[in-house]
Each structure stands twice: as structure tokens, then as C-alpha cells.
Amino acid sequence: DRKYADDQRESLVNDRRRGTKFEITPKIEEVTAIHGFMNDIDCKMLDPAVVGEECVESAGALYEQHVRVWLDRDPVLSKAEVRDSGHGLHILLWLDETIVVAAGEARQWNDIARGICSALPGDPNLNGIIALTRPVGAMNTKHNPPREVQLLRPGEPVSRAEILDLNNRVTTQPARLW
């Protein structure tokens, strides 16, 4: 992963810094403000027998044929912004008001972020609240030639209550979302 260390990223926490992942990724305990939550769906992690070969090769096809439908089934997920990261999809739930993280609460919010990721077939190793997205217009150099990050769907802000509701539903009735 060091090979792509210079790719530009965008943080969803603290002051929403942009830079390389090594420059801008805080430790979980250093998070004092949350601006959004993310899920990362890597096309190559999906079974082509389930989603189709085209969707394993194209984030745009995966979004149009499957993810758009999944998001539209849920009142909170339907507000998500979707970016073609050049390698998959970044599903972003931007907050209408920043969540200020009090001392000792960061791990709790990290657990909530990880819970929300269970709502979709995303990367199980995603870094919770410190997960980084790729800014729209940035280049993903994991490909030759590099691929530009594109906005596939603008989002609408969600409230803290909606995030907590989504987490509660994923925790107590995960199958209902599917």
C-alpha cells in the first residue's frame, strides 16, 4: 500500500484535512469532530457470480445496477453521496451538524462507524471514523493509466439522530436492510 501513499485523500474528521493518508490520518483517540461517515465498496472484493462481471470491473456499473437500488431502499442511506474512487465506490453520509466528540467517546463513535459499514457489502477492514475518502477530481494511481475520482451521486446531509437510527437498525435487525 506504500506504493500509492502519495494519492490525495480527504478526512471526514477534525478539520477535514486533505493530503496523503500518512499526513492526515489521526489516531482514533485524536478525533474531536466528525463531519461524515463512509463505506468503501471495492469492486474486486465482490463475487462476479452474484453482481455480474461488468460490476466487478466497473464502479459505475456496480452503482447503476446494484448500489443505487440498495441505497434507495433506506431513508438514511438514500441521502448518501457516492463517489467512483477509481477502484470502487465511496458511500458518504455527510452530517448536517458536526458531531463534537468528547474525551473518551471516540471509540464509541468508531464502533458506530463500523456498524454503519455493515449496512452494505463494503470493505470489512475500513478504518471506522478515521476512514479516508478520495476527493472528487483526485487521481487514483492504483491503475495504469490513473483514474479520476468522480461524483456519481450528490448527497443530502443527515442528522446525528439518523446516524444513530441507522446504526441501531443495523445492529438489531441487519437482515431488514437487505
Buried b / exposed e over 64-74, threshold 16 CB at 10 Å, is: eebbeebbeeb
To 10 degrees, what angle do helices 106-117 and 160-172 make?
A: 60
Confidence bin at 148 (pLDDT 50/70/90): very high
Residue showing cell 493530503: 19
Q: What is the pTM of this model?
A: 0.92
Q: Which pLDDT tens digit goes with each residue over 68-90? A: 999 999 999 999 999 999 889 99
Residues contacting residue 67 through CB under 8 Å, at least 6 positions apart: 41, 82, 89, 91, 120
Residues contacting residue 133 through CB under 8 Å, at least 6 positions apart: 9, 10, 12, 38, 83, 85, 90, 92
Question: Where do runs of H (alpha helix) occur along 65-159?
Answer: 68-72, 106-117
Q: Are 117 and 177 in contact (CB under 8 A)?
A: no
Q: What is the C-alpha separation between 136 and 28, in angstroms, rounded? A: 25
Q: Which pLDDT tens digit goes with each residue over 86-142? A: 889 999 999 999 999 999 999 999 999 999 988 898 888 889 999 999 999 999 988
Q: Which three cell numbers stand for residue 86?
A: 477509481
Q: Which three cell numbers stand for residue 167?
A: 446504526
Torsion angles phi and psi, residue 110, rounded to 5: -65, -40
Query: What mean pLDDT do residues 155-176 have?
Result: 90
Q: If we measure between CA atoms, which residue out of 145, 146, 140 comes closest to residue 6?
A: 140
